[in-house]
Amino acid sequence: MPNWQAVSKDTHANAGWRSLTHYRHAQTMTVVPVFAAEMGHLLQYYPLAFVKKEDNHFQLCALLGLKSGENAFLSFDERWKATYVPAALRSYPFSLLKNAEGKQVLAADVDSDFFNVLAQPGDQDVLSHDGNPHSSLTELLQFMLHRDVMQQKTDNAVQALAAQNVLSLWTVPVTNDAGQTEQKELMGMYHVDEEAVQKLPEEVLGSLAKAGALGIAYAQLFSQVRLKDLHALQAQRDVLTQTSDKDEIDLDKMFGESSGEDLFTF
């Protein structure tokens, strides 16, 4: 589990950090929050779904695995299998968290391989002498701030969809032991009920389109074809877990080239 701490001059004046070389921090993730601006890249690889949170709000996520605590997109040497890595994972070991006053502060997973309370050779400084984030973090901070704005816009659009009762539990056909096909819930995930969307009045559809919610709805529907690819990744992981052969699926060959995983690629 991450050990997030607010970065402060008192505690982290001599701290250092380094860029990601693996994605071990995501190894137990089966879903990751995503936002609308990155959907063009996400649709190449990931099935999208909605997660219902404890406050009954919904969040748009990319499915990463089909078994609790397993990320099928993470290779056994902790590399990301898809060319596009969801933006939520790319700022590690840093994030923006709210403090007791509700203000956003820079936080770090102090137990991460990429963060040292006492900087090591090759590390970049976390803080400048004045206690502000070092210039080495400027681009990363801009990325996180932009990501946070995009996430809030997406969350608002998703709530607009939920308010129209067009999100339903996602069920998939499964063959039981008797050889019969039955519907089974997909890990409690929700998806768009296309028939319910089509029955909405034109003025409601117009409002959803203006809010960006209609685009999210149809992107989620389009993404459902990627579920079979995720099944293949999960099945491969299950087999490789039991063997010494770790020759894994090349997703670039499966899906074609992507635009890369530069920090600001959405």
Q: What is the pLDDT of residues 115-148, one digit of tens each?
A: 999 999 999 999 999 989 999 999 999 999 999 9
The more confident residue out of 56 and 114 is: 114
The chain-wide mean pLDDT, for the chain, equals 91
How does pLDDT run across 11-20, given as a tens digit for each residue?
Answer: 999 999 999 9
pLDDT at 255 exceeding the cut of 60: no
- pTM of the complete model beyond 0.85: yes
Domain definitions of the chain by residue range: 4-255
Give the pLDDT score at 259: 46
Query: Which token pair is 152?
Result: 């809030």
Average pLDDT for residues 226-241, to the nearest whole number?
Answer: 90
Cα separation of 221 and 18, whole Å?
38
Give the pLDDT score at 254: 55
* Alpha-carbon separation of residue 123 from 15, 17, 18 (angstroms): 9, 5, 5
Give the pLDDT score at 245: 57
Question: What is the dihedral sign for C-alpha 31, 32, 35, 41?
Answer: negative
Give the pLDDT score at 146: 96
Query: Which token pair is 46?
Result: 């990931």
pLDDT at 224 exceeding the cut of 50: yes
Cα separation of 266 and 147, whole Å?
9
Cα separation of 148 and 115, whole Å?
22
How does pLDDT run across 180-192, given as a tens digit for each residue?
Answer: 677 888 999 999 9
Give the pLDDT score at 22: 96
The contacts of residue 191 (CB under 8 Å, 6+ apart) are 49, 50, 167, 168, 170, 220, 221, 224
Work out the number of other CB atoms within 10 angstroms of the CB of residue 183: 11
**Residue type at position 217:** A
How does pLDDT run across 155-199, given as a tens digit for each residue?
Answer: 999 999 999 999 999 998 776 666 667 788 899 999 999 999 999
